[in-house]
Structure 1
Amino acid sequence: MRRFLAILSVCSASALAEPSVMRFSIAESWSMPLIRLEDQVPVQGILFDLMQAVAREAEITPQYHVLARLRLEQAMLDGDIDVRCYVASDWLNERPGNFIWSVPLIRQRDLLVGRAGDTLPGGLAQLTAQAIGTVLGYTYPALQPLFAQHLLQREDSRNQDLALQKLQAGRYRYAVSNQLSLQWFNRQQPAEQRLRPLLLLEEQDLGCMVRNDPNIPAQRVLRAMVRLKQSGEVERIVQRYTQAAELQSADQ
């Protein structure tokens, strides 16, 4: 009996020592510097590095689930993912009550972008009767009234990089891009062809949402995010990619 209890104790301790597995969502509309996928597996990028850092800090094993942007909310409601990052509350049609918000992690600036030499002296009032480059499934509160009144038309691309490629190719005159993606895109362009920000549309803090389930270490993950933010590790991850983009642009 004692031997059985000893074996049971060892097995229980071993099971407790095994890292918990948590499912992180990856939006297939993300592109560098946020994330790079190879065969639907994340291998690089700000958000990949951030999720890896969270997993190490919280001592969990991450699983990455690549989903269409429009599928993310339903996946949360169905309990198919445990952590969703790079999200703001006003992006959600429904706010799942069984998810807990993290501290704000990354500041995003959404910009109206044009080609080299373009200007927008009239601001948003100048944008009428034309298509604007957008990303499928993304919301743009500053432009939504113009979309709703059919004064502007969305021209959706699968991801942010494609939207900027189309802008450079002249498919439309303006597009919306977050600042990080614009900097990354421009690093590959000669100075005279770099796209330029024309107008700040919106600026907001983005965080993560963690499923509140007693079967997963939600609070451990949330505390890990607090430590990473307070230690400056989140900013260092972002800077690694933004500085790389700036250095490459400067060399061209």
Structure 2
Amino acid sequence: MVKMLRQGFGRLCLLFVITSTAAASEITMLRAVVSDSNTPPYAIFDESGALSAGLSKDILDALSQVSQLNIQYLDLPRARIESWLETGQADIACFLNPDWVAEPSLYLWSPPLFATQQLFIRRADSPPIKGLADLAGKRVGTTRGFTYPELEQVFALGDVIRDDANSLQRNLKRLEQGRLDVVMSVDLSYYFFINNGGPGHFNADPIWSTPPSVYCAISRFHPELAVRLIAGLNTLLESKFISRQLRRYLGETAGLVN
């Protein structure tokens, strides 16, 4: 009886492996989320609203090639990304961090792609931001749907006023008009903006915390696909492809990238 049970279990395991392998081989499409809340150069959209360029497209196009997959881009609001990954409606979303999502254990995580420094952008004639005390009572321009771990408590208490917009450009315009005191940005987006004709009458102060790394969050819905994607991202990192793309977008500030 024991021998028969073992034989039956062995056949079941073999069937599972064959079925899983067949299912993995049938997956030909990579469904990648790139939201329009990702500022240039993370994502660049054309006049029709289609993703046309940017670091996200560079990385995900290269990932689809090394993983031998076709790619479909999904433009979702930031608030819907997590639920689509959880339910298997999307396969991957990049430039996230486990600290920025509600339940990080619900996803698989890639190796770190690179570190990104949060910046306080202010008018050049205003005093520098060196700590939380310098933000007291100020209106801070933030991106809708994004999390700012270092400031969440003061936002919740009302000591600092969070004021959302859909884009960095919109926030910087409001800062220029005096409708905001400070704008939150990341180094890559801000320096790309400045290097491509943005006004130079702002100053940038780095936030006091260690620059966090960004990752790709990968759906657990198709484990075999997830293995292929993590392997592909490792290939892109080992070849320095991502570092080269970062330097290309930073231009004259490329020395800021490690």
Specify if TM > 0.5. yes
Instruction: Quote the Cα distance in structure 1 between the aligned partners of 2:178 and 2:100.
Output: 29
Q: Residue 84 of structure 2: which of 72, 75, 90 is its match?
A: 75
Q: State the secondary structure of the residue aligned to 1:217.
A: helix
Shift of 1:196: 1.6
1:43 aligns with 2:52: yes
> Could you list the runs of 5+ residues in structure 2 that have no partner in the other structure?
1-23
Which residue in 1 is equivalent to 2:14? none
Q: Residue 95 of structure 1: which of 101, 104, 125 is its match?
A: 104
Shift of 1:100: 1.6
Q: State the secondary structure of the residue aligned to 1:132.
A: strand
Which residue in 1 is equivalent to 2:61? 52
Given that 2:88 and 2:222 are in contact with CA atoms closer than 8 Å, whether structure 1 keeps it comes out as no
Given that 2:100 and 2:149 are in contact with CA atoms closer than 8 Å, whether structure 1 keeps it comes out as no
Which residue in 2 is equivalent to 1:250? none
Which residue in 1 is equivalent to 2:207? 200
1:20 aligns with 2:28: yes
Task: Spell out, residue by residue over 1:109-168, the C-alpha distance to the aligned partner (whole angstroms, 9 max, x if none).
Answer: 111111223322663212112211111111111111211221111110012232222222
Given that 2:129 and 2:205 are in contact with CA atoms closer than 8 Å, whether structure 1 keeps it comes out as no
Instruction: Quote the Cα distance in structure 1 between the aligned partners of 2:69 and 2:173.
Output: 38
Which residue in 2 is equivalent to 1:239? 247
Instruction: Quote the Cα distance in structure 2 between the aligned partners of 1:55 and 1:76.
Output: 18
Instruction: Quote the Cα distance in structure 2 between the aligned partners of 1:154 and 1:119.
Output: 19
Shift of 1:17: 8.6
Given that 2:86 and 2:221 are in contact with CA atoms closer than 8 Å, whether structure 1 keeps it comes out as no
What is the Cα-based RMSD across aligned positions, in Å? 2.3
Which residue in 1 is equivalent to 2:119? 111
**Shift in alpha-carbon separation, 1:120–1:50, aligned structure 2, 3 A:** same
Which residue in 2 is equivalent to 1:168? 176
**Higher fraction of strand:** 1
**Shift in alpha-carbon separation, 1:176–1:121, aligned structure 2, 3 A:** closer
> Could you list the runs of 5+ residues in structure 1 that have no partner in the other structure?
1-15, 248-252
Q: Give the total of aligned pairs.
A: 229
Shift of 1:215: 7.5
Q: Residue 183 of structure 1: which of 184, 191, 199 is its match?
A: 191
TM-score, reference length from structure 1: 0.83
Given that 1:40 and 1:66 are in contact with CA atoms closer than 8 Å, whether structure 2 keeps it comes out as no
**Shift in alpha-carbon separation, 1:75–1:143, aligned structure 2, 3 A:** same
